């Protein structure tokens, strides 16, 4: 059934299990008001696509709606990021200088299509780093009960090879190990070494909400596509949620670290025609709303003559 850890577990026992299996499951880690606050904020951002001055989700593929920068949305997301158990585990497993480098989530839409294959997360510059596999841990939390389309991990597959896409035929042949399917209730936390072989399993029979926090050392060179896309930009934070942070929390969130900051960054354009059409429609709507004001100004002008 995998590695199930009680709430009272120690950092050392989680690190030991993570080192051995590459994955650790903590059932119902977040509950009550903590979980409910995150769910409300997440739901609100799934109401519409992000556009103009409307916050919402981003979509670049058919079956997932992405919610970016979740640390901006609710106190609970920040509390999870710096939780003593999570912080202790990533510092022990990755290194004392580890930072949270990404915090986002997504809605996985119901589908029977196999769209999310087996893989290890590619993130560092493998052309530069060939003699080792830099450590990276993700903390994944379900915000809905997951009874299908669960996160799946091949236990013991971590730190065996440079992360890459894995053919289905390799699992059980070249990639050996027990496949752990992480079903669970909302609030279940999964910590895993991203070099291990994993995926979102199929089919997905009901919508799944999940958040993913990415912890690695900021000094590790990044792969080119993540530099171009500015994926690991400094975290976007809400000042209202940061009042209780101590120095260790500030370090974990990367306060003052400009290692991967890109001044005057401009994202490479996509969907330019659609953007131009949307902009034209928006300007037309604003001009239509301005017609009554224009007519009143004209009437006042002629009445004064």
Q: Lowest mean pLDDT: which of 29-33, 59-63, 91-95, 253-257?
A: 59-63
Percent of all residues in the chain with a pLDDT value above 70, rounded to a whole number:
97
Residues 105 and 216 occupy one common structural domain: yes
Q: What is the number of structural domains in the chain?
A: 2
Give the model's pLDDT for residue 200. 94
Give the model's pLDDT for residue 53. 86
Angle between helices 84-93 and 11-21 (to 10 degrees): 50
Return the sign of the alpha-carbon dihedral for residues 249, 232, 104, 241. positive
Residues 230 and 293 occupy one common structural domain: no
Cβ(152)–Cβ(109) below 8 Å: no
Q: How confident is the model at residue 305 (pLDDT cuts 50, 70, 90)?
A: low
Give the model's pLDDT for residue 3. 46
Residues 159 and 249 occupy one common structural domain: yes
Residues 127 and 146 occupy one common structural domain: yes
Residues 106 and 152 occupy one common structural domain: yes
Condensed to tens digits (0 to 9), the pLDDT of residues 104-157 reads: 999 999 999 988 899 999 999 999 999 999 999 999 999 999 999 999 999 999
Check pLDDT > 90 for residue 58.
yes
Residues 164 and 187 occupy one common structural domain: yes
Residues 280 and 216 occupy one common structural domain: no
Beta strands 64-67; 208-216: pairing state: unpaired
Residues 277 and 263 occupy one common structural domain: no
Condensed to tens digits (0 to 9), the pLDDT of residues 2-27 reads: 344 454 579 999 999 999 999 999 99
- Whether residue 78 lies inside any domain: the answer is yes
The closest of 229, 145, 182 to 25, measured between CA atoms, is 182
Rounded to an integer, what is the distance from CA 174 to the centroid of its chain?
Answer: 29
Condensed to tens digits (0 to 9), the pLDDT of residues 250-292 reads: 999 999 999 999 999 998 888 889 889 988 998 998 899 989 8
Cβ(3)–Cβ(25) below 8 Å: yes
- Whether residue 5 lies inside any domain: the answer is no
Cβ(134)–Cβ(220) below 8 Å: yes
The domain in which residue 113 lies consists of 11-268
Residues 154 and 205 occupy one common structural domain: yes
Residues 121 and 250 occupy one common structural domain: yes
The closest of 218, 223, 221, 252 to 92, measured between CA atoms, is 252
pTM: 0.91
- Whether residue 2 lies inside any domain: the answer is no
- C-alpha 184/C-alpha 145 separation (Å) is 6
CATH for 222: 2.60.120.620
Residue 269, helix vs strand vs coil: coil
The closest of 200, 196, 267 to 231, measured between CA atoms, is 267
- C-alpha 22/C-alpha 159 separation (Å) is 9
Residue 294, helix vs strand vs coil: helix
Mean pLDDT of the 183-194 span: 98
Check pLDDT > 70 for residue 52.
yes
Condensed to tens digits (0 to 9), the pLDDT of residues 215-224 reads: 999 999 999 9
Check pLDDT > 80 for residue 72.
yes
- Whether residue 294 lies inside any domain: the answer is yes
Percent of all residues in the chain with a pLDDT value above 90, rounded to a whole number:
81
Residues 144 and 184 occupy one common structural domain: yes
Check pLDDT > 90 for residue 31.
yes
Check pLDDT > 70 for residue 198.
yes
- C-alpha 79/C-alpha 87 separation (Å) is 11
Give the model's pLDDT for residue 301. 77
- Whether residue 6 lies inside any domain: the answer is no
- Whether residue 3 lies inside any domain: the answer is no
- Whether residue 90 lies inside any domain: the answer is yes
Residues 121 and 156 occupy one common structural domain: yes
């Amino acid at each position: 059934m995998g590695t199930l850890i009680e709430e009272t577990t120690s950092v050392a026992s989680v690190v030991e299990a993570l080192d051995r299996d590459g994955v650790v499951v903590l059932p119902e880690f977040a509950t009550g008001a903590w979980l409910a606050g995150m769910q409300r904020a997440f739901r609100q951002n799934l109401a519409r696509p992000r556009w103009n001055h409307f916050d919402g989700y981003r979509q670049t593929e058919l079956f997932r709606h992405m919610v970016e920068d979740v640390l901006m949305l609710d106190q609970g997301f920040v509390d999870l990021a710096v939780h003593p158990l999570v912080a202790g585990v990533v510092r022990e497993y990755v290194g004392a200088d580890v930072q949270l480098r990404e915090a986002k989530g997504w809605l996985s839409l119901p589908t029977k299509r196999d769209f999310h294959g087996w893989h290890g997360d590619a993130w560092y510059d493998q052309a530069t780093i060939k003699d080792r596999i830099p450590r990276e841990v993700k903390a994944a939390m379900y915000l809905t009960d997951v009874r299908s389309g669960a996160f799946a991990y091949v236990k013991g597959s971590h730190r065996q090879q440079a992360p890459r896409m894995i053919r289905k035929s390799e699992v059980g042949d070249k990639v050996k190990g027990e496949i752990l399917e992480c079903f669970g209730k909302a609030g279940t936390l999964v910590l895993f070494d991203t070099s291990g072989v994993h995926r979102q399993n199929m089919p997905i029979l009901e919508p799944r909400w999940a958040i993913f926090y990415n912890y690695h050392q900021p000094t590790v060179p990044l792969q080119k596509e993540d530099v171009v896309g500015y994926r690991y930009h400094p975290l976007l934070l809400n000042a209202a949620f940061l009042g209780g942070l101590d120095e260790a929390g500030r370090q974990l969130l990367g306060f003052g670290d400009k290692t991967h900051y890109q001044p005057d960054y401009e994202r490479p354009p996509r969907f330019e025609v659609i953007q131009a059409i949307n902009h034209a429609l928006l300007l037309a709507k604003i001009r239509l709303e301005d017609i009554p004001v224009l007519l009143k100004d004209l009437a006042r002008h002629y009445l004064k003559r």
